[in-house]
Structures are given as structure tokens and as C-alpha cells.
Amino acid sequence: MDLRIPVDEQDRTRIVPETIRRADRSPHNRYGNRPTMKDVAARAGVGLKTVSRVVNGEPGVTPETERRVQEAIEALGFRRNDSARVLRKGRTASIGLVLEDLADPFYGPLSRAVEEVARAHGALLINGSSAEDPDREQELALALCARRVDGLVVIPAGDDHRYLEPEIRAGVATVFVDRPAGRIDADVVLSDNYGGARDGVAHLIAHGHRRIGFIGDMPRIHTAAERLRGYRAAMEDAGIPVADSWMSLGVTTPERVRSAAEEMLSGPEPVTAIFTGNNRVTVTVIRVLAEQSRQVALVGFDDLELADLLQPGVTVVAQDAAALGRTAAERLFRQLDGTLVTPERIELPTRLITRGSGELPPAD
Amino acid sequence: MDLRIPVDEQDRTRIVPETIRRADRSPHNRYGNRPTMKDVAARAGVGLKTVSRVVNGEPGVTPETERRVQEAIEALGFRRNDSARVLRKGRTASIGLVLEDLADPFYGPLSRAVEEVARAHGALLINGSSAEDPDREQELALALCARRVDGLVVIPAGDDHRYLEPEIRAGVATVFVDRPAGRIDADVVLSDNYGGARDGVAHLIAHGHRRIGFIGDMPRIHTAAERLRGYRAAMEDAGIPVADSWMSLGVTTPERVRSAAEEMLSGPEPVTAIFTGNNRVTVTVIRVLAEQSRQVALVGFDDLELADLLQPGVTVVAQDAAALGRTAAERLFRQLDGTLVTPERIELPTRLITRGSGELPPAD
DNA sequence: CCTGCATCTGACAACGTTGTCCAGGCTCTA
DNA sequence: TAGAGCCTGGACAACGTTGTCAGATGCAGG
């Protein structure tokens, strides 16, 4: 389609001289060749600012003028360029979300909750996955800052976030979720990983278990470390000394988790119960246990879809991913409001959901 | 922190007169008060363009000059404003993704795949959920266009996308996924919903079933309609007349699905097998079947985590969500390259995964 | 008919960056 | 040593929008 103004339309314009319009219309090599307010103004025969006023619903435009402008907008398929607007206004009405893996079912509801809050505040969500790589987290977070997002919700992969200091000082609202920020003072929203794990393990102990295994993620990940700490605390509370061979920490690939589980289930004194440190681990361990001849008790951190339909149902320590996201996003916008000043650390409670697997008695 | 240049630093500057610098430095009310290239240039005692050159790694700057500029960047915590850059350059290196629900496990891998491709092309991903609401889809898609995303991946909620015509003409690359575009000619990447459903139902028929139920989503959703068509085709191929009471289409809330399933399982001639139209329906139906006294066969559209661990394992028609996302995103970037011109409709095959529930014989 | 006021409109600068173009200083050669 | 040519650096305009301010218009009242 030819976006240039037909000659009969041009005649309607009043003040702007022919040459200027011609120059502006000349085909330029820029991508898109989109109509701008200038084009709309020329076509409607009004000034630039009048178009701006119409587009933004500002008062002080006669109905007749407004109609002409609307008509031109329609005819040209004009859409305001928010990039330019942002440059002028300072705020982008968008927030960034750096998470670990968009495909992880735990982060789905979390992202969704963040999005809902953003939407309620008229903001868009830009997000990316760090894949648990601190460099990638930093790269992403800074790229988002370069886009001048108003705020940043970060699920940290690394443990040093001083690189965000200039951004925060420059006014980028920042909230960390799921794991704490490293070496900077910032808002943090967490689950009670320590307490949840301790409760889960204590639950197993209450059902008679003493040899209890723990399979978790790499200990440099805060949640993994906290859950391990909860495990240790529960065992210590019960006066049970923990054998090193009962604990396995590392990447949560199915292969490693499988061999870790198989190992602690073999030997002369196998564990009679396993506490799993996150949903990925739980899934793999369920598979391993399904192949075992004897029954092994299981409590997992994080809930699973269908967990109630397995035989036995899977007892879990559930965290509320949506609440984490919602809380974080709400704090973010309160920072932007100015309602919130002092960084805080918020811990949301977890919930033990008993379904059978955690109530199995020890096999021996 | 005070970002203004200390007096002793100002003296280093050469040409720019005092007054201009003073004016630029004066505290302005704009949000953030971030240092700009101008500030860096002043502090390093060089020209604006030299800073630009350093920031963008362009040639023609002596190492000594570069060092001074880098130092100033460091000291001020400068970060390039990509909004301004975009305004100048035309492309934003970002793409938009409009999906139905970020929290749906089907869309997680899809989003992730789109993100991976975007990342490989140096682009960021902006996304939002339409919640199956056509108006919201349009609002979101147009908001993304206003941000001048280079391209748009849309999982349609509505069935009329003519509103995107001006955008596409203006150069916004567009690909529809999972469901076709309505009333415009555009790239579309789909699963073979019809064929998959037909295969799944044929599988049940091959195992001796004749009274087979179908529970699916609202028929205005393309995938739901196609899957229903596949069901009908398989039944017709086998010469089985379909009773109206065997089919239920509507919102996939647990309540409605539950009552639909219970209804077709009751009465004098209950169905002996059910084909479910998507993962949400499947999950609910599994729960209903678990409460039944007799065994009912089940084949579901979409795979489920843990489906193999249930008793019996759930036979499904699996689609490759990641492949959908990847294919769509790759086509998007090929549109942007100019490698791709003619819109095409691509159908990816589905895969029947037998796990037990689909191989159960009829109960009667 | 002029003044004063209210209403509507448009010219212009600015936002922070990049592309163009030119100036000044250097090296190299005749 | 002068001139040509290269290299480095900087002034300036432009991208598309919005805020400021002043000009134009219309109308009522003196």
C-alpha cells in the first residue's frame, strides 16, 4: 500500500509548505516506513500537537478537529510509537522478569502472578530465562535495564548482585524472589524453605523413620542449602545422627538423581524414606521407587500435578508459587509508588500436604 | 549518590562552554536522573560521538581515549538507553509473544522454545496472556506493536485478526501458533489436531470400543473443533454412529468436565472409553475415572508429566510444544531476514504414546 | 470598534542515541 | 619542506513523541 498522501488530500493542509511535506514523505530506507504523527497531522491538515492531543485524549480539541484526526489515523493505520514516548516521558510501563526456566512448572504460576499484577498497573512484562547461569542472569538483567524497564523481578541464579547497584540507584525498582539477593540490600520474597523442609522431614520421623535420605540441588543454590539445613535440623531435633551417604546434592538431572537414589537404597543399611529437594528430583525419585520391591516413604518439596492420583499419593511440602510472584510484584509497584522505602525480607509459609507416601511406615 | 560532575572534573572538558554543561547538569525532575552519553563525554573530556563509538565498539578510537571513556562509564554507572537507540535505529531486537496462559504447562515449553530462538538472534521476549479473551489478545498484540517489537508470535484467542493488517504491512513479522489466524493471510504453525485425534480414537476402536465419549473445549477454539472433527472421522471410518450424549464441548473447568464425564458414564448404555480434548480435561477425567468401580479406557490429547506412573499409565496423543514454538520463532526471524515471503501453513505431526489406559478392553 | 478573555491550535525544544560529514593533526612521500 | 592522504574526534541533524508557550480565533462587553 502506498502511504503517501494523495494530492487532493494535501490541498486541505494549511500552513506547512509543500516542500517540507514532500521531503518528509520521500521514501526513506528506514525499516517499516510507518506513518507518524507528522503524517497524520499533514493528512488531517492540523498541527502535530493536535494529533498528540487526540491520541492521548487530552482536552481542548473541537469535535470536528478530532474527527478529522481520527479519520486520518484510521486511513493511515497510525499507531503511536511508544519507544519515542518513553524517551520523552521517562517511564516505560514495563517490568522485567528474570527467571530460571520458563518451562519449569513451578515458574509458570509465578510468572503468571507477576503478569497479573503488572497488568493491573498497566505494565507489560518482559522476561527471560537464566538457565541457572549467573552470567546469563546478569546479561539479561542488564539488557532489561538498558530497555529501561521500570522494575525488575529477579529469581537469582548468581550470588553477587552488586552489578545492579547503579541501576537501583538510578531508580529501577528491584525485588528478588525465591532466593535472596547477594551482597546488596534489596527486597526479597522467599518461601520458608528451612521450615518447610524441617516439617517434612519431621513428618517422616514421626512415622517411625530414622534412616532418611535427602536428595537436593546444588548447595550454592540458596533454596537447596536452606532445605538441607531444614533436613539436618529435623534430624538433630530427633537426635538422629546423619550419615554422609544419606545426603546427595548436585545437578538435578534424572541420571544423577537416579543413581543417588539407587545408591542410598542399596547396601546393608538402606534408607527407609527419602526427602526430595524439589519437584524435578521428586519426579525422578518416584520413578525409581516404582521399580523397588519394597515400599519406601517419600516427602517432596514442591507440589506436583496428579500427585494425588499416584499409588500411593505423594506427600509434599507445597509452596505457593503464585503468592510468591504476586507478593514480589506488588512490592515492586509499591517501590515505584514511593510507598515503600526500606528493603525487607519476606518469608511465605509452606504447607504440608499428606497423601500417603509420607505416611508409609519403615520397611524394616 | 550525586551524579553531577565534580568541579575538578569539569575543568578537563575542552570545548563545550560552561553554561551549556551547567544547564544540562541542573537537577531535572525526570525520573531516574541517569547519566547519559553527554555526561560520560563531559567527564572523559571527549565528544559525544566518541563515547558512542566506544560503547558500540566502533573503530577509530585510540586506546588512550577509549580507556578514559571506559573509566567515565564505570565511574558514572552509565548504561546505554536502548529506547533512544531503538528510536534512531528502527529495530528493537525484541519480539512479542501473546499466549493464552503462562501458567498452563503446555505453553511453558512453547514459550521457552520461542525464547531460545529469540536469544539466538539477540532478541528479547515480551509476553502476555490473553486468558482466552479475544479483546485482551488484541489489546496485548497492539500494545506490543506500539512498543515496536520486530515480530509477533500469537496464539490466537479470537478468530478475526484483521486488526493486525496495518502492523503487518508496516513490517511487523507475524506468526500464529497452535491455532490459525482469522481472516488474514499469515504464517501459521499448528499441530495435526485432526489427525492426532482421529488416530487416538481409532486406537480405542481397534481395542474393541464402540461407545466412545469425547470431552473437549469450546468449539469456537480451532484446536477443539479440529479434534472433534478427528473424533467424528474415526467413528465414521469405523461405521459407528455417534450419539449426541457422547460428546461434550464447553469450558474446561473441572466442574463442567466432571459432570460431563459422569453423565456419559451413567445410564443404560454408558461409554466404555473416553477421548479427552486437552490436558486440563484429561486430568479431571482421570480423577473421575479413579472413582469409578469399572475400568474405562482413556486416551487424552496432550502429554502429562507423570502420566506413565499412574495406574494404568495414561495413553496420550502428544504434541511437541517446543517444536511448535521453535518452528514459529524460526519462521518469524526468517520473515525478518527477508528469506521468507509467502505465508504458509505448517502442520506438525502428533505422536500416540501407549501406556495402558488406551489399551483397556471395553468393560461390557 | 476596540479590549479582554476563553478557547483552541501550532511552532519549537527536548528526550538520548546514532549517522553524516567535516576539521584538524599526523605520517609519508616527493 | 610542502602536499597528499589517513586517522581520530566532534558538531549537528534526525528518529517520533510530549511539554511549554505563545499566537490565532471567536465572542461578550464597554
| Cα–Cα distance measured from residue B65 to residue B46, given in angstroms and rounded to the nearest whole number | 8
**CATH code of A30's domain:** 1.10.260.40
pLDDT of residue A5: 30
Tell me whether residues B167 and A142 touch, CB distance under 8 A.
no
End position of a domain, from candidates A279, A304, A319: A319
The nucleotide minimizing the C1' distance to residue A60's CA is: C8
Any domain includes A178: yes
Q: Are residues B138 and B181 in the same domain?
A: yes
Q: How far is CA B141 from CA A84, A285, B127, B168, B209, in A?
A: 18, 42, 9, 12, 45
Pairing assessment for the beta strands B315-318 and B351-353 based on DSSP bridges: antiparallel
Higher confidence at residue B295 or residue A91? B295
- Cα distance from A33 to chain B (closest Cα, Å)? 7
Note whether B184 contacts A: Cβ–Cβ < 8 A: no
pLDDT of residue B142: 94
Tell me whether residues A126 and B125 touch, CB distance under 8 A.
yes
End position of a domain, from candidates B57, B80, B103: B80
Pairing assessment for the beta strands B124-129 and A124-129 based on DSSP bridges: antiparallel
* Strand D at less than 7 A from CB of B28: no
In 3D space, the residue among A193, A181, A218 whose CA is nearest the CA of residue A98 turns out to be A181
**CATH code of A342's domain:** 3.40.50.2300
Tell me whether residues B306 and A311 touch, CB distance under 8 A.
no
Tell me whether residues A94 and B147 touch, CB distance under 8 A.
yes
Note whether B291 contacts A: Cβ–Cβ < 8 A: no
Among A88, A89, A102, the residue to mutate for chain B (most B Cβ within 10 A): A102
* A166 CB burial (10 A radius; 0-12, 13-18, 19+): buried
The nucleotide minimizing the C1' distance to residue A58's CA is: D18
pLDDT of residue A139: 94
In 3D space, the residue among A153, A81, A160 whose CA is nearest the CA of residue A118 turns out to be A153
Q: Are residues B128 and B138 in the same domain?
A: yes
| Cα–Cα distance measured from residue A304 to residue A282, given in angstroms and rounded to the nearest whole number | 9
Any domain includes B340: yes
Domain total of chain A: 3
- The shortest CB-CB distance from A115 to any of B34, B81, B129 is to B129
Any domain includes B364: no
Strand D-contacting residues in A 70-109, CB cut-off 7 angstroms: 78, 80-81, 84-85, 87-89
The 10s digit of each residue's pLDDT in B96-109 is 999 999 888 899 99
CB B127 within 8 A of CB A125: yes
pLDDT of residue B32: 52
CA–C1' gap, B208 and D17, in angstroms: 68
Any domain includes A360: no
Tell me whether residues B287 and A305 touch, CB distance under 8 A.
no
Q: How far is CA A100 from CA A107, A120, B314, B346, in A?
A: 8, 24, 30, 31
Q: Are residues A76 and A102 in the same domain?
A: no
Q: Are residues A256 and A311 in the same domain?
A: yes
Note whether A34 contacts B: Cβ–Cβ < 8 A: yes
For chain B, give the percent of residues with pLDDT over 90.
Answer: 79
Strand D-contacting residues in B 54-83, CB cut-off 7 angstroms: 59-62, 64-65
pLDDT of residue B340: 79
Burial B282-294 (b: 16+ CB within 10 A, else e): bbbbbbbbeeeee
Any domain includes A31: yes
In the sheet with A247-249, reading across from the earlier edge strand, the strands are A247-249, A212-216, A273-276, A297-301, A315-318, A351-353
Q: Are residues A214 and A277 in the same domain?
A: yes
pLDDT of residue A341: 78
- The shortest CB-CB distance from B306 to any of A81, A92, A306 is to A306
pLDDT of residue B23: 24
Any domain includes A364: no
Among A83, A279, A292, the residue to mutate for chain B (most B Cβ within 10 A): A83
Q: Are residues A162 and A199 in the same domain?
A: no
Q: Are residues A309 and A327 in the same domain?
A: no
- Domain interval for residue B169: 92-191+322-348
Note whether B162 contacts A: Cβ–Cβ < 8 A: no
End position of a domain, from candidates A28, A53, A80: A80
* Strand D at less than 7 A from CB of A36: yes
Q: Are residues A204 and A268 in the same domain?
A: yes
Nearest CA in chain A to B141: A124
Any domain includes B205: yes
Q: Are residues A213 and A238 in the same domain?
A: yes
What is the residue-level pLDDT of chain A in tens, covering all 364 positions? 232 333 333 333 222 222 222 222 223 334 457 899 999 999 999 999 999 999 998 888 888 899 999 999 999 999 999 999 989 988 899 999 999 998 888 999 999 999 999 999 999 999 899 999 999 999 999 999 999 999 999 999 999 999 999 999 888 999 999 999 999 999 999 999 999 999 999 999 999 999 999 999 999 999 999 999 999 999 999 999 999 999 999 999 999 999 999 999 999 999 999 999 999 999 999 999 999 999 999 999 999 988 999 989 999 999 999 999 999 999 999 999 888 779 999 999 999 999 999 999 998 7
Any domain includes A356: no
The nucleotide minimizing the C1' distance to residue B81's CA is: C16
B94 DSSP 8-state letter: E
- The shortest CB-CB distance from B126 to any of A79, A124, A169 is to A124
Contacts of A91 in chain B (CB under 8 A): 31
Q: Are residues A329 and A187 in the same domain?
A: yes
CA–C1' gap, B61 and C28, in angstroms: 21
| Cα–Cα distance measured from residue B152 to residue B144, given in angstroms and rounded to the nearest whole number | 8
B30 pLDDT more than 50 = no
* Strand C at less than 7 A from CB of B85: yes
Q: Are residues A234 and A297 in the same domain?
A: yes
Q: Are residues B337 and B309 in the same domain?
A: no
Note whether A286 contacts B: Cβ–Cβ < 8 A: yes
Note whether B304 contacts A: Cβ–Cβ < 8 A: yes
In 3D space, the residue among A220, A203, A240, A236 whose CA is nearest the CA of residue A315 turns out to be A203
